[in-house]
Amino acid sequence: MPASMALLDEDQRAVVSLAREFAAKEARAAAETYEARQEDPLPLYKQLAELGLCGLPFPEEHGGAGQSYVTYLLLVEELAHAYLALAVGLSVHTLCAFAIDAFGSAEQKREVLSRLTSGEWYGAYSLSEPASGSDAAALSTKAAPRNGAYELSGSKVFCTRGAEADVVLVMARSGGPGPKGVTAFLVEQGTEGFFGSKKEDKMGWRSSPTWQLVLDKAVVGEARRLGEEGGGFRIALAALDTGRLGMAACAVGLAQSAFDAALVFTKEREQFGRPVADNQGIRFMLADMVTGIEAGRALYRHAARLRDEGLDFSLQAAEAKLFCTDMAMRVTTDAVQLHGGYGYVTEYPVERFMRDAKGLQIVEGTNQIQRHIIGRKLVGPQA
Amino acid sequence: MNIAVCVKHVPDPNLPMEMDGTRLKRAGVQGVLDPGDEFGVEAALQIKEGHGADVTLVSMGPEASSEALRRGLSMGADRAILVSDGALEGADALATARVLQRAIERTKPDLVVAAVESTDGYTGTMPAALAQFMGWPQVTFATQVEIKDRTLRAHRQTTTGYHVVECELPVMITVTAGINEPRYASFKGIMAAKKKPLERLALADLGLSAVDVRPAQEIVELSKAEEHRSGQVIVDEGEAAGRVAAFLREAKVI
């Protein structure tokens, strides 16, 4: 049961149709193979580039398609419906491109953003460190000025496609403690002293590589500093506001996929001489699942519309990330339950969906941090 | 070089086919660019990329056919012509060929490409009739095409292998489903297609009238193919494997 195309404009229908065609012909089947192999689906990213889908929400002068954020998120949701790790990869890529579009110099837009929008390059985002996750402003990777450039030293963790991406947006400390000492850098793959030191073995998102990164006196030129010195934390947070919408759209696509599987299964599976979906208890579960999905979809699209109108959307982005990813955890868990024993075996995809949903509750600000953000906006900073 | 590609908007072959008397039900049914025609469009685009060419898509059908043309334009064709006319309802393959010939002539083509047959009508006679009206040679069942100077060289699929045929332009070719891997219409292609010319013509624009397109043949009756009989069910009571093996031996499968 694909999401309705009612209320979508012509361009949005074109994006959704294209994404569904790509999903049906390639992405859905490829997901199982790459997940089983724990391998990054690079050929699929290349295809996304060929389809012109790597830079939808960016200006045409920088190689983008000049589409709204709502339209871009429709793509993310459809991709997540077929293959979550691929949608996550595109969202992370967009996070990096967004930061350059919003804060980059003309030269950075020309040299880096245009390569990201065309899909010639892929981008990644690196904020977390071994000792600073939720407390991101405590990061300790150093950026020391050296002969008109910066020397970056430290370790980063949980960086999606950190070793596969061509350029990584890295936050490092160039000044004193706290958020005002952080600066953002665009570090290119192949920079001496910059490498992935460990690929994590994860519960879900198994074909989405998660890296520990090492910066060992990696030299980054001034031309690759994004924004002002000390302006990095603001960039990191703005990118996360936007990225949260991507995670919310991913969650809705994933939940829809789990629901679709559960609906088909419960209508076909017969026990006591009739389909299990004939039981009111089962129907009530299905009803709750689909209601959560529709509510989540409405919430993330509302937040994206605010963003498209240039209005403040960070509260709604936090709400959407929180609600949609918690909803996806619940829906995928119920989808496993509705499959009975078949839900617990890898022959059916719903156990993977459940493992994948957990990751969405943790990344780009845990859902506890989302509640913290929402609470702070409502009541003000805590004493 | 000018290439014309015949394309058709057909009911989505992935959906169950519905009949309306002796005619296929089209109204209110989700339509698509005939999947067979995607190979023809792709073949033309590959020639365009190799040699430079102007690719025109030509279709006859109701207004909904413009969707199929837009799809081909999104893949990369340059322009499209749609012939729509109330008098064409129920047109047979011969009438279709007559109409397409008049429309195609306007593009001054060097090469006309079509699928071997349409996914809905399946007569397979339209391309031959079109070649006849053009007064051109036709190369059928092409599984590979290349153009050198003004000569087309094609592999023609046969039951045992293939022929290599050479033919001077202008020529009409029909291509098989195996000839290439049709490309996706990229998002940029879809956006660009909106701005490409799609000319709409009626019969009168082609110097034809209802009399010229009166069907010469008519489907008078439809009957369903006999359904396959259900297979033999073997219930395993310890000797099923032996019985399956015996059955396969009898069928000379093993």
Q: Is B186 in contact with A50 (Cβ distance < 8 A)? A: yes
CB pairs under 8 A between A and B: 26
Is the pLDDT at A233 greater than 80, yes or no? yes
Write out the two tokens for A202.
């994860």
Assigned architecture for domain A10-122: Orthogonal Bundle (1.10)
Is residue B28 situated within a structural domain?
A: yes
Q: Is A18 in contact with B188 (Cβ distance < 8 A)? A: no
Nearest CA in chain B to A64: B188
Nearest to B68 by CA among B26, B99, B107: B26
Q: Is A18 in contact with B189 (Cβ distance < 8 A)? A: no
Q: Is A52 in contact with B186 (Cβ distance < 8 A)? A: yes
Question: Hey, what amino acid is at A102?
Answer: A
pLDDT tens digits, one per residue of A303-314: 999 999 999 999
Determine the CATH number of domain A234-379.
1.20.140.10
- Residues in A closer than 8 angstroms to B184, CB to CB, are 18, 21-22, 50-51
Residues of B with CB under 8 A from a CB of A: 184-191
- Residues in B closer than 8 angstroms to A50, CB to CB, are 184, 186
Of A11, A15, A22, the CB nearest to B184: A22
Q: In CATH, what number is assigned to the domain containing residue B52? A: 3.40.50.620
Is the pLDDT at A276 greater than 70, yes or no? yes
Say whether B166 sits in a helix, a strand or coil.
Answer: strand
- Residues in B closer than 8 angstroms to A18, CB to CB, are 184-187, 190
Distance from CA of A216 to the nearest CA of B (A): 41
Mean pLDDT along residues A44-73: 97
Higher pLDDT, A276 or A10: A276
Domain ranges of chain A: 10-122, 124-230, 234-379
- Torsion of the alpha carbons at A172, A176, A179 and A180, rounded to the nearest 10: -100
Is the pLDDT at A168 greater than 80, yes or no? yes
Is residue B25 situated within a structural domain?
A: yes
The number of domains in chain B is 1
Please state which of the ranges A27-41, A166-180, A270-284, B230-244 shows the lowest mean pLDDT.
Answer: B230-244
Instruction: List the domain range (segments joined by +) for residue B30.
Output: 2-213
Please state which of the ranges A57-66, A70-79, A160-169, B158-167 shows the lowest mean pLDDT.
Answer: B158-167
Q: Which of A17, A18, A54, A78 to mutate to test the interface with B (most CBs of B within 10 A)?
A: A18
- Residues in A closer than 8 angstroms to B187, CB to CB, are 14-15, 18, 51-53, 56, 65
Write out the two tokens for B124.
């397979």
- Residues in A closer than 8 angstroms to B190, CB to CB, are 14, 18
pLDDT at res. B104: 97
Say whether A344 sits in a helix, a strand or coil.
Answer: helix
pLDDT tens digits, one per residue of B73-90: 999 999 999 999 999 988
Q: How confident is the model at residue A2 (pLDDT cuts 50, 70, 90)?
A: confident
Rg (CA), chain A: 21
Four-way CATH pick for A124-230: 3.40.47.10, 1.10.3720.10, 2.40.110.10, 3.30.70.330: 2.40.110.10
Q: How confident is the model at residue B163 (pLDDT cuts 50, 70, 90)?
A: very high
Spatial distance between the Cα atoms of B151 and B136, rounded to a whole number of angstroms:
14
Q: Is A50 in contact with B187 (Cβ distance < 8 A)? A: no
A10-122 shares its CATH topology with A124-230: no
Is residue B242 situated within a structural domain?
A: no
Higher pLDDT, B112 or B90: B112
Q: Which residues of B144-153 are buried (b: 16+ CB within 10 A; e: fewer)?
A: bbebeeeebe
Cα-based angle A180, A186, A187 (whole degrees, multiple of 5): 115
Across chain A, what does the average pLDDT equal?
Answer: 97
Is residue B152 situated within a structural domain?
A: yes
Is residue B249 situated within a structural domain?
A: no
Nearest CA in chain B to A26: B184
What ipTM was predicted for this assembly?
A: 0.83
pLDDT tens digits, one per residue of A123-142: 999 999 999 999 999 999 99
Residues of A with CB under 8 A from a CB of B: 11, 14-15, 18, 21-22, 50-53, 56, 65
pLDDT tens digits, one per residue of B50-65: 999 999 999 999 999 9
Q: What is the largest CA-CA distance in chain B?
A: 76
- HSE-CB at A333 with a 13 A cutoff on CA atoms is 8
Answer yes or no: A364 catalytic: yes
- Residues in B closer than 8 angstroms to A21, CB to CB, are 184
Mean pLDDT along residues A347-353: 97
Nearest CA in chain B to A63: B188
Is the pLDDT at B247 greater than 90, yes or no? no
pLDDT at res. A1: 65
